[in-house]
Structure 1
Amino acid sequence: MKDRGHNRDPKQCRVKLKELRQAYQKTREANSRSGSEPQTCRFYDELHAILGGSATTTPAVLFDSFNGDGGNTEAGFGDEEDDDEEEVVDSSQQASGETSFPDSQELFLTLDLEPVPPEPTQGCLLDPAGGEGTSDTDIKELEDVFGLHGQIEHKLDFLRKNVPKDMKLVLIGHSIGCYITLEMMKRASELQVLRSVLLFPTIERMAQSPQGKLLTPVLCKLRYILYMPVYLLSFLPERVKTSMVRFVLRGLKCPDEASIVTSLNLFSVDCVANVLYMASQEMMKVVERDSTTIKQNLKKLIFYYGVADNWCPQQYFEEIKMDFPDGDIRLCEKGIRHAFVLDASREMAAMITDWVQDILTRL
């Protein structure tokens, strides 16, 4: 592998092999169902040949290009627990030579405003396009997965199945992701959370906020009328959709190109239906601030409010600051908007990186 220009250590290879095996297994199971359309995944034919038609078969030997000897493939294709105990490593950070934080056992989990959901009829999250990689977690058993409760349980299920129990975590939430973060800490107190960074937190009285008063009637009673125009717009050519998105975002001083690409999902009726359904639940369920959970975890929490945020106005900042005078509760003085991902994602990322580095060096 090194002779071909690939710089990967054995640990990264084992993780990739496990992902390929899981992708093959899911594809094979899907194809075994009667009446289902044939599916494939990356390197399916090669995996089928190696695994001998069985996702649980362990080939006799794989050559270890790092050690120069043969080895049993349990390191990559097996289901043993060792893989789950491996340290989570940011491979992009290794490749760039950047300095990692002290104690590399920390894992960062970011929760944003809305997930990009699959079709509402699926009942589980799908693999990325092309079949490479695996789903975050198997959530067929979760009820109302696109609702607020289902999203919280999905994140917890992901951690339980993919992250070692003794892994130290830094949780970063934005908007409704802050509510989800607090609920995760409440429902799973065993999580080894070092810090939770809550950006523009919509953790109380969403329907009573300036933006909530405007949108609650639409989200809770009139959202269905939006489906037809979205359905009709979905037939437009991609270049026309892109031009429309750029026109809507033209007022941004430095629009993030990723925001334009992501916004194209809003031309999908499935995506819009799930987003609006989730938002309607937020208006109804995010009412009282969970002061009990905040008090129990106050030393682990960082709140960051906006000066002119119509979802969590400055009044909310002043009230929580009064209730928790010893808490790390900050007010943005840079004029960053609630939807900072549209034009200030790099600035926000740099600021949070500085916070987390400072926090971890003092632990």
Structure 2
Amino acid sequence: MSFASLISLPQRSSFKVCGELREVLFWPCTSGRPRAVLLLIPGNPGLIDFYIDFCNELHAQFPKELDIIGTSHLGHTRFNDNRGQKHRSTKPYGLEDQVTNMLAMFDQIDQTYMHLQPRMLLCGHSVGCYVAQRIVAERTDRVHRVFSLFPAIDKIADTPRGKQLWLLFRPGARQLVAAAVDMLRWLLPTRAIFKLASLSKSLGESNTRVVVDKMLHGPCINSILKMAVDEMQKIVEVDEDLYAKEGEKFVMYYGTNDMWVPKDRYIKMRNINTKGIVRLCNLGISHAFVTTHSAEMARVMIEMLTKDKLGAEMQKA
């Protein structure tokens, strides 16, 4: 038994990509020679801690053959760097900032693993699917497969949830909300804020603590809402040309009662991406699966991986 085997997963770290410090969680394979590397791209808010249970289940199924790398979106969270110092970004990051830096991160990962020649996989959730889509457009020959979970890639503003939250996307709203959050933290102790956040009962205790400790800060809220505003304005039409050319790379999973990705988007994508796999959930898994359905979503993901030729190879290994 090695000392490394005694360390619980995920391994938590940070590293710079184009001058920006990123929070990273890592699930390394036990063999040291992965057949595949999966980069997980979160939705918005983009806190990678939300996905720990999901990735734990996924990694446990392929412990010898799969490396999983997950990263938070820039500016969405406060985290400790590798020296244990709290990293506080005060710069707001928009959608293009996230896409550009995530593409650079993919390149760094791809180059690091080049000598092992694993298959490079992307898993996007919600708007993370849009970011993954952009990476495929730029690095077509380097991406083997994309798993798009509840893909928010089409007219996000024209959805039930987008219409409900329109006030948050008005000019000046994000600065006002961010200032209110900072004022709340100044007025109340963390314990009181946690009790208030727990009243919603939608996140669970562990995710609520993550939100209060790492996300509920003015600059983080500013970046989250800046990215959201960009999503409403810039994610308008599906990139039909991409799916016509590279549709077979995509495995897409849609919900039946999704306020961000209505069922008509599933029907539309079935007609657009005729080369790939486009599935409709029949298990009642919600768009925000990280709050209540991590294990169920992981089992679906394992099934999708297993049906893939690479997944079958990993299970035999």
Question: Smaller-chain TM-score range?
Answer: 0.7 to 0.9
Summarize deviations over 1:265-314 as a string: whole Å, max 9, x none. 34200110110001000000000000111122211101111111111100
Instruction: Work out the CA distance in 2 between the residues paired with 1:239 and 1:145.
Output: 27
Q: Does 1:6 align with 2:10?
A: no
Structure 2 length-normalised TM: 0.72
Matched position secondary structure for 1:271:
helix
Instruction: Work out the CA distance in 2 between the residues paired with 1:312 and 1:181.
Output: 17
Match of 1:106 in 2: 36
Summarize deviations over 1:49-82 as a string: whole Å, max 9, x none. xxxxxxxxxxxxxxxxxxxxxxxxxxxxxxxxxx
Instruction: Work out the CA distance in 1 between the residues paired with 2:226 and 2:121.
Output: 29
Question: What's the % identity of the aligned pairs?
Answer: 24
Instruction: Work out the CA distance in 2 between the residues paired with 1:262 and 1:7.
Output: 26
Instruction: Work out the CA distance in 2 between the residues paired with 1:284 and 1:272.
Output: 18
How large is the Cα RMSD of the aligned pairs?
3.3
Aligned pairs for 1:1-363 within 5 A: 6-7=3-4, 90-91=27-28, 93-94=29-30, 104-114=34-44, 115-116=46-47, 128-129=80-81, 131=83, 146-164=93-111, 165=114, 166-191=117-142, 193-221=143-171, 222-235=173-186, 236-249=188-201, 252=202, 255-264=203-212, 265-359=214-308, 360-362=310-312
Is the contact made by 2:74 and 2:93 (CA closer than 8 Å) also made in structure 1?
Answer: no
Instruction: Work out the CA distance in 2 between the residues paired with 1:318 and 1:175.
Output: 17
How many residues align? The count is: 261
Matched position secondary structure for 1:104:
coil
Is the contact made by 1:145 and 1:154 (CA closer than 8 Å) also made in structure 2?
Answer: no
Matched position secondary structure for 2:166:
helix
Is the contact made by 1:307 and 1:314 (CA closer than 8 Å) also made in structure 2?
Answer: yes
Q: 1:129 to 1:258 in 2, by over 3 A?
A: farther
Q: 1:247 to 1:224 in 2, by over 3 A?
A: same
Q: 1:107 to 1:279 in 2, by over 3 A?
A: same
Instruction: Work out the CA distance in 1 between the residues paired with 2:228 and 2:245.
Output: 28
Offset at residue 132 of structure 1 (A): 5.6
Offset at residue 228 of structure 1 (A): 3.0
Is the contact made by 1:145 and 1:151 (CA closer than 8 Å) also made in structure 2?
Answer: no
Structure 1 length-normalised TM: 0.64
Is the contact made by 2:38 and 2:120 (CA closer than 8 Å) also made in structure 1?
Answer: yes
Offset at residue 90 of structure 1 (A): 4.3
Matched position secondary structure for 1:334:
coil
